[in-house]
Each structure stands twice: as C-alpha cells, then as structure tokens.
Structure 1
Amino acid sequence: MFAELSIATVMVLLTVVIHGAGLFGLSRVLRLEAREEAAAHIHPMSPRGMAMTLLLVFGLIALHGVEIWAYALLYLAIDALDLLREAVYFSTITYATIGYDDHSIAPGWKLIAAIEGVNGVILLGWSTAFFVRVVARMGRD
C-alpha cells in the first residue's frame, strides 16, 4: 500500500504541475490575444474571438490528454495493465470518473486508479472554473 500511495502522490504532483503550467500558458496566450483585440477594436464574439475560444477548448482537452496518458504510461510501466490501448482507455474512464469496473487492473495497483479518479475530478473542475472565468470576461468586453 505504501508503494501505491507514494506513486499516486507523485502522479498527483506531476499532473497538478502540468495542469498549472498549461493553464498559465493558455492564460498568457489569451491575454495577448485580448490586448490585440482591444487595440484593433475586434469584438470578442467575432470569428477571431470564436477561434480563440476553440483554441482554449482544445488546449484544455490537450492538457487533460497529457495527464491521462501519463497515468496510462504509468500503468504500463508498473505492469498494472498489459496493452497501451487498454491503459489509455482505463486511464480515461478513471480520470473522468466514468469507470465501468476495475477488474482489468492488477489488484496491487487499484489504489492508484482510485486516486486518479479524485485527481481527475479536481483537474476537470479547475479547467471548468478557468473556462468559465475566461468566457465571463469575454461577455463583459
């Protein structure tokens, strides 16, 4: 159990750092775009503004994808799962807390999967808050 908790803690730290850095990067890009829009008097709901919103959505999805793949690669590295496709699928449904069952993962590593679910909920919530904040700012402009 100590090994599981240690590995899960490292993964939580890793994914939080990835997510924080990714949101920081997205925020910087959006701030630069907002300045250009203001300078050129471009409405945030213009085609260019909508393209930036799509960029934001895809950026958030990419961040979650990196975090899901990190867990999937971990499952392969510790022999908790056998196939890459199975590991990515299992990690995706666990991260998003959809989960169907945990029979496919090796019994000695189930605690990591449980913590991935909690981690995923928090990171998805963080992304949602970020997205809502960005969209609310667009509406005020």
Structure 2
Amino acid sequence: MTGEDVIDEQVITATFNSQLAVGALMIGICVLLHGFGLFGLQRALFAETMKERIENLRPFSIRGAAATTLIVFALLFLHFVEIWLFAFLYDFLQALPNFQEALYFSTISFATIGYSDASIADEWRMVAALEGILGVILLGWSTAFFVRVLGKLEGGGSRSDA
C-alpha cells in the first residue's frame, strides 16, 4: 500500500455535478470577496480625508512609492485570502495529502502555473480547473484596478468618478 492509496481511501467522493456546485460556490464567495475588497480599497484611497493627500502625491516621490507599495500589498493580501480559501477547501475534502500541499496546489492553480508536481484527487479536479479560471479573472481585475489607481495618482484619470 503506497501513500497515494491511503489518500485515495480518505478522499470525500463527489459527482461531477457536486464538483460544479462546490466550484460555483467558491467562485461566488471569491468574486464577492474580491469585489468588496477592491471597493473598500478604493473607498479608503479616495475618501474625502485622503483625496487632498492623493491629489498632492507625486508618483515618483518616496510617499508615492510607499502608497503604490501599500496598494500592491493590499491586492496581494486579497489574492492570498482567496488562495487560502481554496486550500482550506481542498484540505477539508482531503483532496490532497496535507494542508501544506493543498496551499501549494491552490497557489499554482490560482496563478495558472499548473506545475505537474502536485496533483489533486480525481474526484475534485473540476474544482481545481474552476479555480484556475477564477484566478485569471481576479488577477486581471486586480491589474485593471491597479492601473486605474496609478492613473489617478499620476493625475491621468478623472477624479470625479472615484
């Protein structure tokens, strides 16, 4: 009996429809989380109390670089939360040997790197595929948000729509 055989005996089995349902639920949770996260970040950045500071911020100053760095960390934090949610799911379903493996697998799936050195139980492959699709969309959404914020910081965007 190999270690892989032991894992297969413990995996919570799923039909294709239940995989789609779990994947759709995770997509819904992550899209809402991401949307509210970006909305909150935008509100924090462009609130009336911050507006004057941001309007006077020079993008290539120390303060401008610090603001940009904080925005990057906030976006990364949002993605890390989403990745960890999938990792907790994989660990709960026992689709991977342990949480460390689940977190690694979730990270490479979300980022659509997809190394072949980690594989999920066959019963939950569709959820992993949906995580990859979601990752592409959410990373693109964050990129668009980041470009828009940088445009505002550089004075290139309309401040009335913030």
TM-score, length-scaled by structure 2: 0.80
Q: Aligned residue for 1:29? A: 44
Deviates more, 1:23-32 or 1:105-114: 23-32
Q: Does 1:12 align with 2:20?
A: no
Are 1:76 and 2:91 counterparts? yes
**Does 2:73 match 1:58?**
yes
Structure 1 equivalent of residue 125 of structure 2: 110
- Which amino acid in 2 is paired with 1:17? L
5+ unaligned residues in a row in structure 2: which ranges?
Answer: 1-15, 157-162
Listed as ranges, the matches of 1:121-132 within 5 Å are 121-132=136-147
Q: CA RMSD in A?
A: 1.8
Q: 1:34 to 1:46 in 2, by over 3 A?
A: farther
Does the alignment pair 1:120 with 2:111?
A: no
Partner deviation per Cα, 1:88-125 (whole Å, 9 max, x = no partner): 00000000000012862111100000000000000000
* Matched residues, number: 140
List alignment gaps of at least 5 residues for structure 1: none
Contact 2:58 2:154 (8 Å CA) reproduced: no
Percent of matched pairs sharing the same residue: 50
Structure with more of its chain in helix, by fraction: 1
Quick check: 2:30–2:82 contact (8 Å CA) kept in 1? yes
Query: Which protein has the larger Cα radius of gyration, Structure 1 or Structure 2?
Result: 2
* Residue from 109, 134, 139 that aligns with 2:149: 134
Runs of 4+ in 1 over 4 A off after TM superposition: none
